[in-house]
């Protein structure tokens, strides 16, 4: 392989082709403020960079600014299902529009201390869905890293969609349809308790507000026989409709109903969460609750940009983006 095919293009190459100095190339490609560059010169530099396939070195930019354009997102040990995956995809796209790059690290802190992660990357900001220690916060702020706590009990607010609202939407839909005895299908995966507990709390709160009996909560594995047993227990206690933790658990409940020779929604109504593609293909098609992840991603990206800039975070219009998708099952 020849030297010409392996040599990395540099700003000096761009400068030679454009007929300008390397400093001018840097000013144009990094959009440096307070520099007077004519439109013609800017166009020559951009055209030369495009012809050579040149982009500024991320490492050089980090050395110059003291931090990268990376936003590090720290997730707990969650299964990355369709909803979390959709949120991360929308967040990544929204951050890209602000010139930022998303790096996601799933897992727990025992696998690798958080301090090692952010020191290795030197991010512009860190998003965390778990609580930071005061020592972590102090160390990151001292290093100039913006901190975005997606869930923060310390501040008494959450930047994430309140999962209680998701449960409320489920219960409200079922009670408005005339159901007065509800069940809740709880997942058998301990890793998703972060979502499941507040959703169940939302269902309970909606029932309490209507002076209805406390929902009958049962754990439903993704297994037809186990789901059929749960259906039998719900039927024995007078339950006529079930709020499932998510669509996958709801599909298990549908299988359990079929296994008992019953029909949905006549014998048992079912509502899920997430609106995954199989929900619309279920038999019968699954009624579910969905969240507009495009809005969630844009809001979180705006919060990150505000944190980097030292501005107040915008509010999330949660009530407007969580809605019921009405199909046949409930």
Q: What are the pLDDT digits (tens) for 222-254?
A: 999 999 999 999 999 999 999 999 999 999 999
Q: How many residues would you count in the chain? A: 330
Query: Which whole number is the average pLDDT over 19-37?
Result: 80
Q: Please tell me the distance from the alpha carbon of residue 308 to that of residue 148, in angstroms, as a whole number.
A: 9
Are 162 and 84 in contact by the 8 Å Cβ rule? The answer is: no
- Banded pLDDT at 263 (limits 50, 70, 90): very high
Is it the case that residue 153 has pLDDT exceeding 60?
no
Element (H, E) at 231: helix 224-236
Radius of gyration of the chain (CA): 26
Q: Please tell me the distance from the alpha carbon of residue 124 to that of residue 62, in angstroms, as a whole number.
A: 10
Query: Which whole number is the average pLDDT over 50-57?
Result: 73
Are 240 and 231 in contact by the 8 Å Cβ rule? The answer is: no
Are 322 and 161 in contact by the 8 Å Cβ rule? The answer is: yes
Write down the mean pLDDT value for the chain. 86
E strand segments, the chain: 70-74, 101-105, 125-128, 146-149, 151-152, 157-158, 182-186, 216-219, 241-244, 269-273, 287-291, 322-325
Q: Which of 268, 264, 285, 284 is nearest to 276 (CA)?
A: 285
Q: What is the pLDDT of residue 276?
A: 94
- Banded pLDDT at 140 (limits 50, 70, 90): confident
DSSP 191: G
Q: What is the pLDDT of residue 158?
A: 53
Query: Which whole number is the average pLDDT over 204-211?
Result: 97
Q: Which domains does the chain have, with CATH numbers?
A: 11-56 (1.10.260.40), 65-160+295-321 (3.40.50.2300), 163-292 (3.40.50.2300)
């Amino acid at each position: 392989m020849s030297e010409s095919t392996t040599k990395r293009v540099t700003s000096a190459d761009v400068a030679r082709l454009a007929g300008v100095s390397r400093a001018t190339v840097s000013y144009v490609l990094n959009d440096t403020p307070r520099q007077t560059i004519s439109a013609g010169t800017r166009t020559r530099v951009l055209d030369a960079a495009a012809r050579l396939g040149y982009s500024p070195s991320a490492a050089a930019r980090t050395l110059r600014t003291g931090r990268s354009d990376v936003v590090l997102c720290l997730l707990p040990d969650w299964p990355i299902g369709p909803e979390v995956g959709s949120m991360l995809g929308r967040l990544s796209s929204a951050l890209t529009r602000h010139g930022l790059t998303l790096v996601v690290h799933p897992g727990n802190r025992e696998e690798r201390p958080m301090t090692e992660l952010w020191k290795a990357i030197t991010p512009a900001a860190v998003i965390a869905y778990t609580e930071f220690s005061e020592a972590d916060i102090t160390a990151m702020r001292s290093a100039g890293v913006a901190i975005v706590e997606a869930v923060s009990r310390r501040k008494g607010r959450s930047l994430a969609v309140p999962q209680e609202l998701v449960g409320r939407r489920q219960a409200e839909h079922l009670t408005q349809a005339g159901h007065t005895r509800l069940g809740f299908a709880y997942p058998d995966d301990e890793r998703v308790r972060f979502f499941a507990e507040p959703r169940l709390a939302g269902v309970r709160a909606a029932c309490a507000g209507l002076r209805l009996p406390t929902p009958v909560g049962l754990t439903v594995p993704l297994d037809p026989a186990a789901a059929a047993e749960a259906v039998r227990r719900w039927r024995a206690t007078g339950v006529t409709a079930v709020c499932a933790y998510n669509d996958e658990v709801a599909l298990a409940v549908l299988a359990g109903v079929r296994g008992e020779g019953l029909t949905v929604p006549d014998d048992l109504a079912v509502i899920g969460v997430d609106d995954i593609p199989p929900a619309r293909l279920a038999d019968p098609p699954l009624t579910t609750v969905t969240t507009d992840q495009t809005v969630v991603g844009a809001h979180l990206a705006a919060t990150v940009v505000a944190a980097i800039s030292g501005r107040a975070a915008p509010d999330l219009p949660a009530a407007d983006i969580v809605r019921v998708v009405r199909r046949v099952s409930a």
